[in-house]
Amino acid sequence: MRNVFLVATLALVLFSPVLRAGDYRFSHNGRPAYPKIYPVEGQRMGAPAAGDLAVVFGFAFVLGEPGHYQLRFDPTHASRLLARIDQGPEHCLVIHTARTEIDGKIEFVNPLLEMTAEEKSRLRGLRFDLDPVDWARSLAGIDWSHCALELRNIDFPLPELPDKIRYLRLAPTQPQEDHGFARLQPLTALRYLYVQVVHAPFPISSIPANSPLVNLEIDGTTISDSGALGDLGTLRFLKLRRVEGVDSLDWAAALEGLRVLKVDHTGVSDLQPVLKLPNLRLLSVNATKVASLPSPEAFPALRDFRLHSTPAAEDTEALAPYRPAMSVSVRDWEKAVEKFAWQDYKFGTRDAILFVGSSNIGRWDLAKFFPDLNTRNRGLGGSELSDALIHYDKLVLPNQPRAILLNAGEDDIANGETAVQVVADWKKFAERTRKKLPAAHLAYLPMKPSLERWNLWPEMKKANEAIARLSRDDPHLHYLDTTTPMIGKDEKPRQELFAENGLDLSEPGYAAWTAVVNAWLESLPK
């Protein structure tokens, strides 16, 4: 017996981030598993807590107490995800009811009907695909204080939902005259809601305004009453992606508790309503009409600003004041990163030597210069160090590298950032590596003195020197001096080490870098 959805969702295991922050760890059959965490009870992204929602293998479940979550599929029933937390007893964590292949035949299987009351009470997630069988009997005995419900690929109006439910994910796929969204109104305990509706608008007013909703994500639909978002005063995390009917952020001014706001691929053009939000730390307006930017002082808590594919992203002068205060992302790397993720799914291996950064890395022929080493190239030409941070989990973690070589920062300085901001981003990268890959060695390949950007070298040199100092006291942090071999006797960059554009490295330039890297790799413990 084999559940037919596993092949489609296996990629999520490898594409999603490894979570080893705090006291939580996840593994599947002895290998690290890579859940995505949605904050609910936790105060911020990247710091999971009991009561947050995790999604792995396409399964959503509510986190319990910290520990090592050791996951595996039930060998006799692949729609049951089992878990052992630390040394505790193994139990069923999530149930998936769906069409399943049994002895060559496709049947609808509902394992809930076979479970005892005690087994049901320990469930952390339920997923229904297609029309649920014996709905009321299936849900009897579920403890909704710690169990998520997901209705996905459903072709029926919403059934009556448990009024104590706190975590809900909805993705109806078939057109209906009435999706039954009015059934959300009694859910006054709701804390997390994800909605993806393809064929019909979603009424925000169907969400009970008196619910303690903390995290709301709406994807790929239309809403006609966006103003009603302002009534959801407990929201701290809000994501609207490819949502029509969102042309203004006027409602956002009422949401003073917002920490994360993403309105990507919407009609938003004016950021004025979100100014002075006291807790806003991440603002994403990718692929919107935002053309002008206020002073960064208008965002007192902002630390992460994403605005690729917007008119404002082209205004380097307006962006310059933002860069010393926060990470700024102005390029869209999603397709390139997903391509890397697919390569890791197909060919990924543990203990790789990983090269991460911008064009200096991307153009490096690692197979030629390091023929005997297990290397992976994750260079994105034109990217900034902040981009490596944003996409860290997908670029770095799948191969569980034993060594990471990072080269980024030149484009940051060229785009107006200061040495201070580059160093701050490097610190974040190093801290994340220490937290998620504590055994890995991280080496920084410094920004190079190039012919084309020689005027920027003083600022780059400041950042290089600061990173070199910060790397001295940690045995897992390293600074590889690739700059000294690039300076000639006239104290200027050696022309033969560069391509014709005076910026990219030539083959001799890469050979010089390779010699430094090889010497360092040989010094690492085997």
Asked if residues 77 and 89 have their Cβ atoms less than 8 Å apart, the reply is no
Q: What is the pLDDT of residue 41?
A: 95
CA 59 – CA 100 distance, rounded (Å): 16
Provide the strand spans (E) within 245-296.
Answer: 260-262, 282-284
**CA nearest to 512, candidates 492, 526, 498, 491:** 498
DSSP strands (E only) in 303-440? 304-306, 327-329, 353-357, 375-379, 403-407
CA distance 390 to 262: 14
The H-assigned helical ranges of 187-298 are none
Q: Beta 477-479 vs 441-444: how paired, if at all?
A: parallel
What local confidence, expressed as pLDDT, does residue 32 receive?
Answer: 73
pLDDT of residue 100: 64
Strands 237-241 and 260-262, bridge-based pairing: parallel
pLDDT at residue 17, as a whole number: 36
Tokens standing for 179?
A: 């999706």
For residue 130, the model assigns a pLDDT of 65
pLDDT value at position 16? Answer: 35
Q: How far apart are CA 468 and CA 477, in angstroms?
A: 9
Quote the CA–CA distance of 316 and 262 in Å, as a whole number: 22
Instruction: From residue 518, give the alpha-carbon distance in Å to each of 276, 372, 510, 514, 522.
Output: 50, 11, 12, 6, 6
Cα gap 81→276, rounded to integer Å? 44
Residues of the chain with pLDDT below 50 are 1-22
Are the CB atoms for 312 and 296 separated by under 8 Å?
A: no
State the DSSP code for 524: S
Measured CA distances, 471 to 67, 447, 477, 478, 523 (Å): 31, 15, 5, 5, 16
Name the burial class of residue 523, with classes exposed (0-12), middle (13-18) and buried (19+) by CB atoms within 10 angstroms of its CB: exposed
Listing DSSP states for 264-321 in one string gives TTS-----GGGTT-TT--EEE-TTS-------GGG-TT--EEE-TTSGGGG-HHHHTT
CB 53 within 8 A of CB 126: no
What is the structure's pLDDT at 378?
94
Give the global pTM: 0.78
Average pLDDT, the chain: 87
* Alpha-carbon Rg for the chain in angstroms: 25
pLDDT value at position 348?
Answer: 66
CB 189 within 8 A of CB 207: no
